[in-house]
Structure formats: structure tokens, C-alpha cells
Amino acid sequence: MMDDGALQLHEDIVRPEWIDYNGHMNVAYYVLAFDFATDAFLDHVGLDHNYKNEANCTTFVVDMNVCYLGEVLEGDRLRFTTQILNSDEKRLHYFHRMYHAEKGYLAATNELMTVHISLESRRVASMPEALLKRITAIRNEHAALPLPEQAGRIIAIRSKSAAS
């Protein structure tokens, strides 16, 4: 399923155990919710448990950035989209958006860089050709989409002189 060209593969609900003392979803559970979206995405491209067991390969996250943009509360329904920003034979750079499913606002984003790993050597390894073709086809479709505003963010406190 597509949403403005991005994959829409996962939906969830804010669970009671995800709520913190401020009465909204705790930051750690945003990452968990995005991890569930990652699982759906990896299943979709063929990097699922069967692949792991048969190829003895998987992916490891090497970099991640989360932007918290809107509050979500217990019981809120969530909708996730995923966009491949780039890929090569060993790496996959993708971007999730978390939306409040009823109100439609963007609640958070999650940018990830993963590497394809041989579990035998515990080292980065090239993906098989069939998997590369599937990922590349989606990446090429997503190349026409605008780069997400939050992609490639750097955390910094800018000096007052630089900000003016």
C-alpha cells in the first residue's frame, strides 16, 4: 500500500504501558513503535526471518535519528509510512513517518542507516542480487519523492551570532 508514494505497511495503537508521567507516549516507545514499522518494512523487502534463517544474514542499525513533532496519547491510533532514501549492496538508508491516524498530523520521524550483516562472520556483507533488485526498484520509485525535511539532521546548539 502506498501513501503519497511512500510505503504504508504498519499501523499501531498507543498502549497504556507506553505512557510516561507526563501523560503521553514516552520517547523510548516511539523507538519501539518505529522498530515495529521497521519489521514490517524488512518483511516487505524480503529481509524477514526466513531470509535470516536461510541466508544466515540480517541487518544491523548503525545510525538512527528520531524527531518528536507531535504528542500522542494512550489509545491514539498510529499510521506509519516508509521511504527508502538510498541503498547500495551493503547499506539501506530509510525514513519512517509516524502519523496520528485519525487527526492526520505528523507525530514523529525516524531515519535509519542499516548494514547487511553475515551472521557467520558478524561482518558487513553484500546482499544477494534478488534482494538488491527488489530494494533498488523501491528506491528508484522513491527517488521521485521529496527528501523529508527531517532527513540528515544534525543536533547542535547554534551560536547566537550564527542564528541571526
In a domain, 160, yes or no: no
In a domain, 153, yes or no: no
136-150 pLDDT per residue, tens: 999 999 999 999 999
In a domain, 159, yes or no: no
d(CA 122, CA 118): 5
- Residue 159, pLDDT score: 84
In a domain, 86, yes or no: yes
Of all residues in the chain, the percent with pLDDT exceeding 70 is: 96
d(CA 59, CA 74): 31
In a domain, 99, yes or no: yes
Contacts (Cβ under 8 Å, ≥6 apart) of 40: 9, 10, 80, 82
User: Rounded to the nearest 5°, which phi and psi values hold at 111?
Assistant: -105, 135
Which CATH number covers residue 116?
A: 3.10.129.10
The DSSP code sequence of 89-116 is: SSEEEEEEEEEETTT--EEEEEEEEEEE
- Residue 164, pLDDT score: 55
96-125 pLDDT per residue, tens: 999 999 999 999 999 999 999 999 999 999
Total structural domains within the chain: 1
- Residue 3, pLDDT score: 52
In a domain, 48, yes or no: yes
Range of the domain at 55: 2-147
- Residue 161, pLDDT score: 72
d(CA 127, CA 48): 13
In a domain, 80, yes or no: yes
Distance of CA 136 to the CA centre of its chain: 17
In a domain, 155, yes or no: no
Q: What is the dihedral of CA 146, 157, 113, 71, to 10 degrees?
A: -70
